[in-house]
Structure 1
Amino acid sequence: MSASLVLRRRLAGELRALRLQAGLSQEAVAEYLDASAYKIVRIENAQSSIGISDLRQLLALYKVDAETRDRLIDLGRNARKRGGWWSSYRDVLPGPYVQLEAEASLIRNYQPSIVPGLLQTAEYTRAVILASNHTITPEEIDRRITVRMKRQERLRDTEAPLELHALVDEAALHRPGGDGEAMTAQLEALIDAATLPSVDLRILPYVAGIHAGIGYPYVILTFPEPADPDVVFCEGHAGERYFHDAQEVAGFRADFLSTAKVSLDRDASVTLIKRTIREIRT
């Protein structure tokens, strides 16, 4: 079983709710555990796991019933388990995004400038990596490409495919990722992806003008269990940012819906991609 950041988030949310219900501050809980308040903050933000011994003490402090105690201890044990295919690639994965994506059931991705990672070809990925890091070694490039191709396998899973709703700005179709042949192959891959039942690909045309999400890419991750709230992921030169607050996440969802309304439908999007391919070839 994989290390589950999602389960850790679920446990953190429940522990925070129990603490508030008990009317205790993080400082009071830290004193009870003979630990620092910083440790409690990290546990409640799912930034670190909690040991089973500490978990038992907290549940006793919060005076939970036996059924809740057993359920949360079981959750705590599962949240601490390690594994998953991504474990072998930790050296090229700067943050927890891939693990979150691996446990998500729905990804909503807006991309204003490049093709979304889950829809990239290997050569296009290579061009993206090289553009952002001129000193990277060929070995690390290959490992990063392997990770990206591995992530894409879930889109074609016949039993439980990852559902992807991708909004891609028309600019991404015209910005070359490699030479003309590589870019043509990338656009053809987009057309192929659009035929998958798990993929809803929509192009945001130039004529849509200024819109809600303009200027910044983001990913909204939704998980199969209602107890696990959505997470928003943003990536830029300043690094990775994650939004967990319900109100902030709702804002991103509203932006995505607004942008989707001014995007082309699937058939019109494919027609635009085909036209772009013809332009490249002429």
Structure 2
Amino acid sequence: MSASLVLRRRLAGELRALRLKTGMSQEEVAAHLEVSSNKIVRIENAQSSVSISDLRQLLALFRVDAQTAEQLLDLGRNARKRGGWWSSYRDLLPGPYIQMEAEATLVRNYEPSKVPGLLQTADYARAVVLASIPAVPPEEVERRVAVRMKRQERLTTDKPLTLHALLDEAVLYRQAGGPKIMRCQLERLIEAAKLPNVSLRVLPYTAGLYPAAGNPFVILSFADSVDPDVVLCENRVGERYFHDADEVAGFHADFRQMTKVSLDEAASVTLIKKTITEMSV
């Protein structure tokens, strides 16, 4: 079974709610357990897993009834399990995104300048890696490409991931790896758009300026309503995640507004085909 960051987040939320119900501060909890307050902060932010012994102490401190305690202990045990296909790529993927994407049921992805990783061809992905990480060793390039190809398998499983992709029109013209690779990539977008679980829409230049223009982001949603949505914003200096409900709601509002001013799915495919034709002239 995979290491479940989603389950860790769920447990963290439960423990935070229990602490707040008691009226205790993080510092007071830390003092009772004789640990640093930073440890409690990291547990409640799902930045680190909680040991079963620490979890028992926390549940006792919060005076949780036996039935609830057993449920949370079970959740804690499952959250600590290791594994997952991404384990062999931990050196390349230190952040939590891949684990969360692997457990998400819906991904909303806005990209202003390049094709989303879930829809990239291997050659396009290779060109993106080489452009993003100068002087990267060839073997690392291939491992990074392999990760993106592995992620895409979720689009065609028995219970596929649902993807809503919004691409700025610039994505269709910004070549990666040359005309031949770009043509194959655009053809790949057309094929992906045929999948019932993929919605692909283009924000045309005629849409003008729109919310979040130029700032890519991903919204991850999960099957269980107790697992809140997460937003990832990524740039050169690293990844930034948003968990606060009000902040996440803002990204949802931007995505809805951008969807309204985008071309519909059929018109988006027509534009992609037109771009391919123009490349062939």
TM range (shorter): over 0.9
- Paired position in structure 2 for 1:268: 267
- Paired position in structure 2 for 1:111: 111
How does the TM-score come out when normalised to structure 2? 0.99
Structure 2: any 5+ residue segments left out of the alignment?
none
Shift, 1:200, TM fit: 0.3
- Alpha-carbon displacement from aligned partner over 1:104-129 (angstroms, at most 9, x marks no partner): 00000000110111000011111111
1:173 maps to 2:172:
yes
- Paired position in structure 2 for 1:234: 233
1:212 maps to 2:203:
no
- Paired position in structure 2 for 1:102: 102
Kindly provide the amino acid, as one letter, of the partner of residue 215 in structure 2: Y
Alignment partners' CA distance in 2, 1:127 and 1:169: 19
Alignment partners' CA distance in 1, 2:212 and 2:260: 12
- Paired position in structure 2 for 1:251: 250
Shift, 1:135, TM fit: 1.4
SS at match of 2:248: helix
Shift, 1:215, TM fit: 1.6
Alignment partners' CA distance in 1, 2:94 and 2:74: 29
How does the TM-score come out when normalised to structure 1? 0.99
Shift, 1:22, TM fit: 0.3
1:72 maps to 2:72:
yes
- Paired position in structure 2 for 1:144: 144
Alignment partners' CA distance in 2, 1:74 and 1:153: 30
Kindly provide the amino acid, as one letter, of the partner of residue 183 in structure 1: M
Shift, 1:33, TM fit: 0.5
Alignment partners' CA distance in 1, 2:216 and 2:234: 7
SS at match of 1:41: helix
SS at match of 2:91: helix
- Alpha-carbon displacement from aligned partner over 1:123-170 (angstroms, at most 9, x marks no partner): 11111111111110000000000000000011011x210000000000
Alignment partners' CA distance in 2, 1:80 and 1:240: 23
Alignment partners' CA distance in 2, 1:52 and 1:74: 9
Structure 1: any 5+ residue segments left out of the alignment?
none
- Paired position in structure 1 for 2:277: 278
SS at match of 2:46: coil
SS at match of 1:196: coil
Aligned residues between the structures: 281
- Paired position in structure 1 for 2:182: 183
- Sequence identity of aligned pairs in percent? 68
1:10 maps to 2:30:
no
Shift, 1:94, TM fit: 3.0
Alignment partners' CA distance in 2, 1:94 and 1:71: 30
SS at match of 2:160: coil
